[in-house]
Amino acid sequence: MLSPHTIALVKATAPVLEEHGETLTRHFYQRMFQHNPEVGPFFNPAHQAAGAQQKALAGAICAYAANIDNLEVLGGAVELIAQKHASLMIKPEHYPIVGENLLASIREVLGAAATEEIVQAWAEAYQFLADILIGREAQIYREQGAAPHGWEGFKTFFVTRKQPESELITSFYLEPVDGGAVPDYKPGQYLTLRMPSPCGHTTMRNYSLSDKPGQPWLRISVKQEPGDDTGKPEGFVSSYLHQQVRVGDRLEVGPPCGEFFLDLEESHERPLVLLSAGVGITPVLSMLLSALERTPGRRIFFLHGCLNSRVHAFRHQVDALAAAHPNLTVRYRYDAPTEMDRLRSEGSPVSEGQIDAELIESLVPERDADYYFCGPKPFMVNIYHQLLAWGIPASRAHFEFFGPRQELERSTE
């Protein structure tokens, strides 16, 4: 346990760290990549370029410091971080590297204010949190290895099918090269792809599983991230998958992970509200497919927004589900409908605009429901604020953000 003196020192210095938080962690990353280039491949270069990871770690440290005498409130954050770390195969031997570089950066950035006593207190506090994460991550690795058809680390899969779902999104069906079955997973979870990067190392990306569990494959559905004429590069992995990967090719796949999943055991009395925008449809589609099968008769609302019909993925599949299941209500919103989209027929589930509170209220009979949502930042911020304003408890407002979550939380402050 941490001593009361250590706790007091950490709490006293937390505001200073918060003030210097982003500078501190930016410095930390520069230092770490210079002194320990071996950890570089764990980090997503696009998140570094956008500054998102700097914010994530700064945010985590400050939150930890502010709550060091009440770690209960960090419970959810610990699970999120441990799942993310496990998806990227972070191991106990990596913690001293991060710890040493972080403490050196605290010294360098705070200068004279960083007394030995303060640095020592932070060293103890870092180790305390590191031990919690290392423990939970070890448990996740053990469970992944012990699960039927599970594995630890990366396993080689064939791409057995490549299916365009819209002009931008393509599904990849993955089956193990050893001919074995795939493990069960929770609808909403994601896997990790590892592939060679342009700088001669490897790079990793998470992709949500878009099909229901229990199939002979793991399916991911990937949006091609286009470049633009301002010099923004096209997304590296998504472009590689779309343009280079063919049926029969091999990919390195990490086991399913993640704490955003549909709890099939929760009360089925309340309606289930599944909200998505753009490629955020992937985890909630898996939830929809699973809920229809595993909780028959439950009232389900599936609301999806995208630009227009050209980029609207899985429309035929979801329409067919709606036709077959009277307990399922489906609506789509297009931001920028095409001329053809505007000529829609009477009774069409499509309307112009975005998924918003008004649409949800007009369909869902009561606010007391279980909400799951995923999409780009403005969509997430909007829905999150709305659910909070309605007094929906956090335990019923579940979300996945396709990037460091702190980035999202900061933009909701």
Ligand X SMILES: Cc1cc2nc3c(=O)[nH]c(=O)nc-3n(C[C@H](O)[C@H](O)[C@H](O)COP(=O)(O)OP(=O)(O)OC[C@H]3O[C@@H](n4cnc5c(N)ncnc54)[C@H](O)[C@@H]3O)c2cc1C
List of residues contacting ligand X (CB under 6 A): 44-46, 49, 190, 205-208, 220-223, 225, 227, 232-233, 235-239, 279, 282, 400, 402-403
Q: How far is the CB of 68 from ligand HEM (least distance, A)?
A: 12
> Counting contacts by CB under 6 A, is residue 136 touching ligand HEM?
no
> How far, in Å, CA of 397 to CA of 371, rounded?
5
Q: Which of 137, 165, 407, 409 is catalytic?
A: 137
Query: Under 8 Å CB-to-CB from 117, ≥6 apart: which residues?
Result: 9
Q: How far is the CB of 107 from ligand HEM (least distance, A)?
A: 18
User: Residue 223: which of 308, 146, 271, 165 has the closest Cα?
Assistant: 165
**Could you give the string, one character per residue 36-65, with x where binding to ligand HEM holds by CB under 6 A and - elsewhere?**
---x--xxx--x-----x--xx--x-----
Distance of CA 307 to the CA centre of its chain: 22
Cα distances (angstroms) measured from residue 341 to each of 285, 323, 333, 363: 23, 20, 11, 22
Nearer of residues 127 and 202 to ligand X, judged by Cβ: 202
Q: Exposed, middle or buried by CB within 10 Å (0-12, 13-18, 19+), for 329? A: middle
* Interface segment toward ligand HEM; rule CB under 6 A; list 235-243, 261-269, 363-371, 401-409: 401-409
- Is the alpha carbon torsion for 228, 224, 402, 304 positive or negative? positive
Q: How far is the CB of 100 from ligand HEM (least distance, A)?
A: 10
User: Residue 106: which of 35, 7, 20, 10 has the closest Cα?
Assistant: 20
| H helical segments located in 51-115 | 52-66, 75-87, 95-110
Q: How far is the CB of 157 from ligand X (least distance, A)?
A: 16
CB 138 within 8 A of CB 86: no
Write down the residue that tokens 């950035």 correspond to: 109
* Interface segment toward ligand HEM; rule CB under 6 A; list 3-11, 129-137, 233-241, 346-354: 129-137
Contact partner at residue 245 from ligand HEM, ligand X, none, CB < 5 to 8 Å by partner kind: none
User: Residue 40: which of 258, 153, 204, 155 has the closest Cα?
Assistant: 204
> Counting contacts by CB under 6 A, is residue 194 touching ligand HEM?
no
Nearer of residues 256 and 404 to ligand HEM, judged by Cβ: 404
Residue 206 pairs in a beta bridge with 192
Active site residue 95: yes
Active site residue 124: no
Nearer of residues 55 and 298 to ligand X, judged by Cβ: 55
> How far, in Å, CA of 86 to CA of 265, rounded?
25
Contact partner at residue 46 from ligand HEM, ligand X, none, CB < 5 to 8 Å by partner kind: ligand X
> Counting contacts by CB under 6 A, is residue 81 touching ligand HEM?
yes
> Counting contacts by CB under 6 A, is residue 242 touching ligand HEM?
no
Contact partner at residue 147 from ligand HEM, ligand X, none, CB < 5 to 8 Å by partner kind: none
* Interface segment toward ligand HEM; rule CB under 6 A; list 94-102, 275-283, 285-293, 366-374: 94-102
Nearer of residues 13 and 406 to ligand HEM, judged by Cβ: 406
* Selected binder of ligand HEM within 2, 133, 138, 381 (CB under 6 A): 133
What is the identity of the amino acid at 288? Answer: L
Q: Measured at CB, which residue is nearest to ligand X?
A: 235
Neighbour count for residue 313 (Cβ, 10 Å): 26
Three-class SS state of 352: strand
Contact partner at residue 207 from ligand HEM, ligand X, none, CB < 5 to 8 Å by partner kind: ligand X
> Counting contacts by CB under 6 A, is residue 141 touching ligand HEM?
no
* Interface segment toward ligand HEM; rule CB under 6 A; list 76-84, 293-301, 335-343, 356-364: 76-84
Q: How far is the CB of 210 from ligand X (least distance, A)?
A: 6
Q: Exposed, middle or buried by CB within 10 Å (0-12, 13-18, 19+), for 189? A: buried
Annotate 71-89 with b (16+ C-beta within 10 A) or e (fewer): eeebeebbebbbbbbbbbb
Residues with catalytic function? 95, 137
Residues of this chain that bind ligand HEM (CB under 6 A) = 39, 42-44, 47, 53, 56-57, 60, 80-81, 84-85, 88, 90, 94-95, 98, 126, 129-130, 133, 404-406
